[in-house]
Amino acid sequence: MKKRLGLVIDQERCIGCEACTVACKLENNSNGHCIRVETQNVAQKDTPEGRFPELKMDFMPRLCNHCADPPCVDSCPVEALVKREDGAVVLDQEKCDGCQLCVEACPFDAILYSGEKEKVEKCNLCVHRVDQGLEPFCVICCEGQAMHFGDMDDPSSTVSKLVAAREAFQLKPEAKTGPSVYYCPPKERRRF
Amino acid sequence: MNEKEETRLVRTVCPAHCGIDACGILAHVKGDRVVKVEPADFPNPRYRRICLRGLSSLDITYHPDRLKYPMKRVGERGEGKFERISWDQALDIIAEQFKDIASKHGWQALSWVLGGPGAGTTKFGAYLRLASLTQSTRVSAWGYGDAGLPCGSRVLLGTHTPYALLFGSIMGGESVPDMIIAWGTNPGEAQPLNIMRPIMNAKEKGALLVVIDPRFTVTASKADEYLGVKPGTDAALALGMMQVIFQKELQDAAFIKRHTVGPYLVRTDTGKFLRGKDMGVKDSQDYVIWDSNSDSPKVRSESGVESSILGTYTVNGLECKPSFQLLKDLADDYPPERASVITGVSSDIITRLAEKIGTSEKTVFVTNMGFTRTFHGDISMRALGTVAAATGNITATFRAGHRPAVLNWKPFLHADTSKPSYSRLGILQLYDAVISGKPFPIKAVWFAFVNFLNQCAHSSKIANEMFPKLDFIVATELFMTPTARYADILLPVCSYLEFSDFIPFPHPYVQLQQKVIEPLHECRSDVDIANGLAQRLGFGEYFDKGEDGFIDLILDSGDSSMEGITREKLKQGPMTLNPIPDMGQEIDIPFSTPSGKIELYSEGLREVGQALPVQLDPLETPLKPEGKKYPLSFIQGHTRFRTHSMFANVSALLELNPEPVAEINPQDAKERNISDNDMVTVFNDRGKTTLRARVTEGVRPQVVNISEGWWLDQFKEGSVNHLTHDVINPVQEAIYEPNMHMNDVAVEVVKYEEVEG
């Protein structure tokens, strides 16, 4: 069935713990980290911006955006990357020849090259779980319960409701790739 | 799919010592190997959870560096040279050594130094039982840094820990307070599942979040207001807030009168509570209040009185004040402007936070050990609790619900009641017992689930003065830790997947940590090891039923909370403790203090000048750093990458957090010509450590933070505990047990090259 499966990541609840990073690597036996948690606007992770004590620190897990119009799929000369009917952009590592054209094509730096495997790696939205009716492993391991999985095209889904209620945004809309990963921005602080 | 069918699923528990979240773990087993762990289900899906350490726990079980067989030291202590021996040889040597030492110095000279058992019970129980039967010495683990909070909590509330009374109400998610104040704690990193989730849930439903911490932590990043307090000044902050609250009469007078000693009259000449006998009621030890209806003193048991909490009164010629008035007098000395100078927090925010607490319907105070790891950390805890009590923000009544599990500990604490049980020492008292034989000599230690040298204060003293004085050291360990290198006999233990245990968490559940696979290599569980030794010491009958026997024994309390809960049933999954049914009315919780009330004023501490939560100078933290040899305040926060020193050698986590860093504010770094990533040496008169600098606004100026738990060999030189001290606070020693003051240490920092040059 045609869907637009994706993730909504609530920055208000993300505590930057990197459980998603560890969970993803464990579940998918990857060499690199297909989800990486960025501490925003600073050079070193886990450090705040501003001057003490007027500080701010927000986290953003970055991963494949499972784009509606994925440039990586178009770039792959061996058809190792496929856009599925349910919206997931998946990599068939058997087919991958390690040319890395997709790495350059991805506007989100979401595809990694593994020198050890001589192939690329990326988030497959845990389709091996999704096909069994389960959620992606990162979602069930999220410490802050900040990650939500569902069909962006279904207006009654939790993810669609969150996108509407929280004015969720996509990364790099100017790239016009139609990401299926949305971010709910952190809420404004309510100073006394 | 064939692959699928071969996978066996076993429910167990990750018992790591992380705040006792006790996450349920579903282990996927193929053949005899665990291939995956995932968060297991709970009756309430809210408890389905795992953290990055739990996810990495297979890396511990299958770590190539696991200790694989018993070993005997052949090199010098600390050198790490060992030779393989059999279990029988190891246990025979230990039994022989123990008997020999006991014949010379008495059994008391043998000590069991047990670390935090995490959520586990029987591995702890097994050694307690052995200590009890042999009448040797149990060394308590609370003083590792966790004794300050109980000292404060015992004085104020009569409970060992204040958690349930302070913030139990948000844990279940039933009630949403107006405001949550996380004070001296960083649950976002240290207890993300158990505590941070409920905080974020409450915040989502409208609660304000305030964080008080010298570091801008993950928790602080979620706060509406952040107060970057100087370490060791929390009592002054609390007093500053109370000054505002009391000036504006925002205290909860009804609560103070009903649940605290606030109305009880104190003699201004002695500082003691006025008693019935002082006003002429023969032999009466009852507390006395001033009744505003009759404008006369009455014993508290008298009915129909209206107590006063303010004023000065004369009874039988004795000048007296309600203890709340004494608290107010103290707070009057700390207007926000003065509190601001001491604490480094602006007077404006102190005032507004105080007003907010005073006017809110419900403020919840969340706290933990961090800010109590200062020399007077017990008073910090009392100060926080006093603000909470004075504003009616402590749970003081009970109607229905779940109590903590009541476990049957007696057969472990005192196994043979016809004889005395073990002696007890606090961990800081062990230093003197070994080094100078006071209060009695300790000649042998058994380290279990503890990385003593790594985690205890004043490492060089341990290595150079303490360990050489010991005739015999045994360690049970998973790895060749810095402590294990000093063992004479080193015994390999199971990881959590290789043995069974009973887990009385997370409240209101109890769980079974089921053995998932047989012990790897020649490893044994602590219960098995204790059994092996007990057989040789003539106490075999107390141990021969193994882990399962101990689990049954612990379950068998006969208390209604545990009724119907059995090991067999627990194999299916977690069980809920039996609740106390609705009593139809709320009862006042009897506090286990001398007065039965919340003791805003502690008569027992008047002679040391600590009857009230006074601000006392920290031992080392330089509140006025100018011109000091060591002008920087050193603290050790917790990190999500480790549970104390556990997980420090796990590659999946080292990939994300490869080495220790010293966090230093840009202002202090600039003065010392230090840039981010430079190697720096942090030092004081006791020692030094060299590591990378992290220049960050995330720590307040004049504070240096290195997260605790890195192993000694992970630093370029030294370690955090080369800097810390083992000074005992005698007040804490008298209340309960002296604490290590890891967050009350003065240091200086220099660029590494400068030291070498």
Query: Of the candidates B61, B82, B104, which is a domain's last residue?
Result: B61
Find chain A residues with C-beta within 8 A of B228's C-beta. 52-53
Same domain, B430 and B337: no
* Ranges of each domain in chain A: 5-42+58-184
Specify the number of domains making up chain B. Answer: 4
**Across B639-648, average pLDDT:** 96
- The angle subtended at Cα B582 by Cα B576 and Cα B586, nearest 5°, is 125
Same domain, B164 and B131: no
B177-187 pLDDT, tens per residue?
A: 999 999 999 99
Which structural domain range is residue B458 located in?
71-136+422-507+514-576
Same domain, B50 and B101: no
Strand boundaries in B533-586, DSSP class E: 575-576
The correct answer on CATH 3.30.70.20 for the domain covering A5-42+58-184 is yes
What residues contact residue B637 under an 8 Å CB cut-off, 6+ apart? B186, B189, B215, B217, B370, B705, B707, B708
Q: Judge whether B379 lies within some domain.
A: yes
Same domain, B123 and B11: no
Q: Judge whether B614 lies within some domain.
A: no
Q: Judge whether B595 lies within some domain.
A: no
Same domain, B187 and B76: no
Tokens for A149, please give them: 């999985």
Q: Do A53 and B216 touch (CB under 8 A)?
A: yes
pLDDT score at B369? 94
B10-36 pLDDT, tens per residue?
A: 999 998 888 678 999 999 999 999 999
Same domain, B658 and B707: yes
Cα gap B660→B714, rounded to integer Å = 7
pLDDT score at B312? 98
Find chain A residues with C-beta within 8 A of B699's C-beta. 52
> What residues does B214 pair with on adjacent strands?
none
pLDDT score at B16? 85
Residue B437 belongs to a domain with what CATH number?
3.40.50.740
Please indicate whether residue A138 or residue B404 has the higher confidence score (pLDDT): A138
Same domain, B252 and B382: yes
Cα gap B310→B270, rounded to integer Å = 19
CA-CA-CA-CA torsion sign (B28, B33, B36, B37): positive
Q: Which band of pLDDT confidence, cut at 50, 70 and 90, is reported for residue B5?
A: low
Of all helices (H) and strands (E), which one includes residue A177? none
B461-502 pLDDT, tens per residue?
A: 999 999 999 999 999 999 999 999 999 999 999 999 999 999
What mean pLDDT value characterizes chain A? Answer: 97
Q: Judge whether B161 lies within some domain.
A: yes
pLDDT at B1 over 70: no
Best B35, B221, B657, B705 member to test A by mutation, with max A CBs in 10 Å, is B221
Cα gap B470→B487, rounded to integer Å = 10
Same domain, B84 and B228: no
3-state secondary structure B353-369: HHHHHHHCCCEEEEECC
Q: How many CB atoms are closer than 10 A to CB B604?
A: 15
Q: What DSSP letter does each residue of B83-107 carry, written as one string?
A: EE--HHHHHHHHHHHHHHHHHHH-G
Q: Do B192 and A23 touch (CB under 8 A)?
A: no
Same domain, B479 and B375: no
Q: Do A16 and B218 touch (CB under 8 A)?
A: yes
Same domain, B94 and B200: no
Query: Of the candidates B397, B432, B455, which is a domain's last residue?
Result: B397
A30 has a chain B CB within 8 A of its CB: no
Task: Assess contact for B403 and B550: CB atoms under 8 A.
Answer: no
pLDDT at B631 over 80: yes
What mean pLDDT value characterizes chain B? Answer: 96
B249-292 pLDDT, tens per residue?
A: 999 999 999 999 999 999 999 999 999 999 989 999 999 999 99
Residue B298 belongs to a domain with what CATH number?
3.40.228.10
B394-449 pLDDT, tens per residue?
A: 999 999 988 889 999 999 999 999 999 999 999 999 999 999 999 999 999 999 99
Same domain, B472 and B550: yes
Query: Of the candidates B535, B552, B576, which is a domain's last residue?
Result: B576
What residues contact residue B342 under an 8 Å CB cut-off, 6+ apart? B230, B233, B236, B237, B615, B623
Cα gap B69→B88, rounded to integer Å = 12
What does the CA dihedral B508, B514, B516, B522 come to, rounded to 10 degrees?
130
Same domain, B164 and B280: yes
A26-54 pLDDT, tens per residue?
A: 999 999 999 999 999 999 999 999 999 99
Local structure of residue A188 (DSSP, 8 states)? P
User: ipTM of this model?
Assistant: 0.97
For tokens 């612990």, name the residue: B554
Closest CA–CA distance from residue B717 to any residue of chain A (Å): 24
Q: Is the pTM here over 0.95, yes or no?
A: yes
